[in-house]
Structure 1
């Protein structure tokens, strides 16, 4: 972590998104598929779709050279008793939300039992870290990746919609990027696309 901070120009951005509809649809999808689907799986799918639109974030920086990828290999931070490990779910762009949920569950179980293979902890192009007990946080990059999404808890809040105060379920997302590769305009484009997908999530479940 110290090397990550000292060798990159990290900058974080925060955005509050409305996950009311996404939560409803993931619960319906879980009932229909029989698969345990959490919000992280929805966000992983949304990230994969957003990275198609803003591929600069789906990259790594090695020896001063930026390498871009068509496939999205998603690192998923898993907390262990003695630290943190980031198994990698490969080719997320081709998976449904249910397939993502199953894949993450399998990787998490392997991580906690110490049965991950070397191929399952390498090759990541983007990472997501979920810390559901806080509203928001500043995640540290997982080198050589250039971007990481942090996910806080979702809470019900009063918000203004169409001039009326309504209760919606809101979630704070944080995006950390290496400013050597990703500037504010690029980060904003990614966040804008991610917000659109999460707040109008029908396409993610199609």
Structure 2
């Protein structure tokens, strides 16, 4: 029996739906530099738990980098050029981030992706992301690129309606999911993170979500 079969990195492309794929292990070559960049970003704009318009505190902690950052409070969901926590512009998007997002989008069939926002999400055990659509960008011609780092997660990928059946997609460190075109507005989320340990991030999962917000 291969004791390491479940932990060995997997590679290749898996189709989820038209315009939606999982790129297994796509970010592994950049893993250390990506995590160092996350540390630099959060030193300037720390993680925080946002409040939804309905008054609920999100279980996922987040911050942003890039020209625009996604924020939420009692006034609603929106993009803003200023970090409301410190009154300063969000940290610049590292060149490595933009390059990885561009290459992943191209591998999924979306050439020339130039994100101007990257949501940096931190999941602890029990944190989850409820089903939602990414609609705040206003322009749906560009894909979403989502990079998984740290402990495993189960990604929920549904249909165009909240009640549609969802695929349960296991994601591990280094996997990248891209969805756009006919799948751009599909509902998606993350099941509660199970307790686990990763050699680089301990019990944490970090997710980088790249968007073209303007």
Q: Specify if TM > 0.5.
A: no
> Which one has a larger percent helix, Structure 1 or Structure 2?
1
Larger relative contact order, structure 1 or 2 (CA cutoff 8 Å, min sep 6): 1
Give the alignment's TM-score, normalised by structure 2.
0.30
Give the TM-score normalised by structure 1: 0.31
